[in-house]
Amino acid sequence: MRFVVAGAGAVGSVFGGLLAGRGHDVLLVGREPHMAAIRESGLAVTGLFGDQVTRPRVATDLARAAEPTDAVLVGVKSHATESIARTLAAWADRPRLVVSLQNGLGNVETLAASLPARVLAARVIFGAIVTAPGRAHVTVCAKPVAVGPLRDDPASEADAQRLAEVFADAGIPSEAAGATEPILWEKALYNCGLNPLGALHGLTYGEVAASEALRPLLDGAMDEAFAVARASGIALVWKTEAEFRVHFHSTLLPPTAAHRSSMRQDLEGGRPTEVDAIGGAIVRAGERHGVPTPINRRLVAEIHEAERKGSRSEPA
C-alpha cells in the first residue's frame, strides 16, 4: 500500500518505519532534524515491536507532499488537526482514506468536516519516544491498536479490516473495530488524569498511581470522565465508575507503568500540549450535559499555567 504519514513524530514514525519495513511505500512528513536524519541514515525503530532500520521517503511540507496515496495516517497533535484537514482538502489528488492516530476526542469529526474522504480512527495505546533524530523507540503497549469508524458504518468495515491486517503484518498489534467512539472515550478516561499529573510532577504513570497525594486526583478525574461519557450516551462496557477503576488499575496501568507522559515531553520542549482535546473535551462535554468536572477543570488549568511558565508545577 501507499501511505503518507502526516505528522511523523514518535507514533507516526513507528507506524511509518514498520510499514516501510514490510515493503509498503511510505512518505513521512515531519520536522527537522528528524526528517534530515532519516533521509541521511534511515529510520531506526526499536523497542517492544522489534528493532530494525528502514528507509521511508521524507518531506517537511505536507502541502508540497501531495501525491496519490491509499491512506493518510494523521499523527499530529490534536491542536493541529484542523490545519492538517485544510491542507489535505487542498490536495489535487485528495486521499480516499484518512486515519487518525491521535490522542483526545474530536479529531475524527474535525477531519471529516473538511474532507470527502472516509475517515477512520486508530485507538493507539502504545507509547513511543523519539530518542534522537532518526530514532523512535516503543516503550510500552497496553492493548492492540483498534482501527475503525467513529460509529458503526458497514461501508468502512473492509477498509478497517484491511488496515488492521496490514498494521499487524508490519509488527504493530492491531485489530478492526466496528465503532471506535467508545474505545476513544476509554482512552480519554485513561489519559485525563495520568497525562496531566505525570506531566506536572515529572512522574511515570506507575508513580502517579502509587502516590498517596495524587491517587485521589487520578481516580477522581476518571470518575468525572466516566460520568460525562455516560451522560453523553457513550456505550462503555463498564456499568459504574468503580468497575472502570478496577479495570484501569488491574489491566490498563500495569503494562504502561514505566511510561512518561507525552504531555510532559511537550512541556519540557516548550510546545503546546493536547490537554484541551483530553481533559478539556471532558470539561466541555460535562458543561453540555450538566455534569460537574472540578478535578479535570483544575488539571486543565494547571497544565495551561505550566505551558505559560514553560515549566512544570511542583508536587503538592
Cα-to-chain-centroid distance, residue 311? 23
User: What average pLDDT does range 256-278 have in this prediction?
Assistant: 93
User: What average pLDDT does range 44-68 have in this prediction?
Assistant: 97
pLDDT of residue 310: 79
132-165 pLDDT, tens digit per residue, is 999 999 999 989 999 999 999 999 999 999 999 9
Distance CA 151, CA 153 (A): 6
Active site residues: 187
Q: Is the pLDDT of residue 313 over 90?
A: no
224-250 pLDDT, tens digit per residue, is 999 999 999 999 999 999 999 999 999
User: What average pLDDT does range 108-117 have in this prediction?
Assistant: 95
The structural domains of the chain, ordered by start, are 2-176 (3.40.50.720), 181-309 (1.10.1040.10)
Distance CA 60, CA 204 (A): 32
Torsion, Cα 1 173 277 17, to 10 degrees, reads -50
Q: Say what the pTM is.
A: 0.93
- Worst-scoring range by mean pLDDT, 41-55, 85-99, 147-161, 257-271? 257-271
Angle at the Cα of 231 from the Cα atoms of 229 and 152, rounded to 5 degrees: 60
234 CB neighbour count, 10 Å cutoff: 18
